[in-house]
A and B are shown apart, each in its own frame.
Chain A
Amino acid sequence: MALKGLHPFISFGLAILVWEAAIRCLAIPAYKFPGPLAVAEAMKELALSGRLLASVVASLFRVTWGFYLAACAAIPLGLVLGIYGSARAFLNPIVQFLRPISPLAWIPVALMWLGIGDRSAIFLIFLSSFFPLLVFTMSAVLGIKVTYIRVGLNFGVTGLKRYTKILLPAIMPDIITGLRITLGTAWLVIVAAEMIAVKSGLGYLIIDGRNSMRMDYVVAAMIVIGIIGLVLDWTVSRLEMLPSVRWIHKRR
Chain B
Amino acid sequence: MKKIEVKGLSKSYNERRKKRRSPGDCRYGHGCLVLKDLDFQIEEGSFTCFIGPSGCGKSTLFRIMAGFETPTTGEVLIDGIPVLGPSTRHIFVFQEDGLFPWLTAMENVAIGAKHISDPLEREGEIRDFLDMVGLKGFEDHYPHELSGGMRRRAEVARALIANPEILLMDEPFGALDFITRLQMREEMVNVHQMFDSTILFITHDIDEALQLGDRIIMLSGRPSSIKADISLPFPHPRDLTVGEIASLRKEIYFHIGIHAAL
A: which residues have CB within 8 A of B? 147-148, 150-151, 153-157, 165-166, 169-170, 172, 243-248, 250-251
Contacts and interface: CB of A to CB of B under 8 A. Distances in A.
Given A169-B102, A244-B103, A251-B101, A154 B144 contact: no
Interface of A is mostly: helix
B192 to A, nearest CB: 20
A175 B63 CA distance: 31
Contacts of B100: 148, 151, 165-166, 169-170
Interface stretch (B17-25, B86-94, B172-180, B253-261): B86-94
Nearest to B155: A151
Contact of B92 (A154, A169, A172, A245): A154
A155 B91 contact: yes
A172 B102 contact: yes
A170 B102 contact: yes
A157 B91 CA distance: 13
A151 B162 CA distance: 12
A166 B111 CA distance: 11
Which 9 residue pairs of A and B lie closest in terms of their CB atoms, listed nearest first?
Answer: A247-B101, A250-B144, A169-B102, A153-B86, A244-B102, A154-B86, A247-B144, A155-B111, A156-B88
A237 B158 CA distance: 33
B142 A155 contact: no
23 contacts: A147-B96, A148-B100, A150-B92, A150-B94, A151-B94, A151-B100, A151-B111, A153-B85, A154-B87, A155-B112, A155-B114, A155-B158, A156-B87, A157-B111, A165-B100, A166-B100, A169-B102, A170-B100, A170-B102, A246-B144, A247-B142, A247-B144, A248-B101
Contacts of B96: 147
Given A247-B102, A251-B144, A147 B91 contact: no
B162 A243 contact: no
Contact of A154 (B91, B103, B143): B91
Interface residues of B, number: 24
B139 to A, nearest CB: 14
B97 to A, nearest CB: 7
Given A247-B143, A250-B144, A151 B98 contact: yes
Nearest to A245: B102
Please indicate which of the listed interface residues A151, A165, A172, A247 has the most CB atoms of chain B within 10 Å of its own CB.
A151
Contacts of B142: 243-244, 246-247
A35 to B, nearest CB: 49
Contacts of B102: 169-170, 172, 244-245, 247
Contacts of A243: 142
A220 B54 CA distance: 64
A169 B100 CA distance: 9
Nearest to B85: A153
A172 B88 CA distance: 27
A165 B111 CA distance: 10
Nearest to B90: A154
Contact of B97 (A147, A150, A156, A245): A147
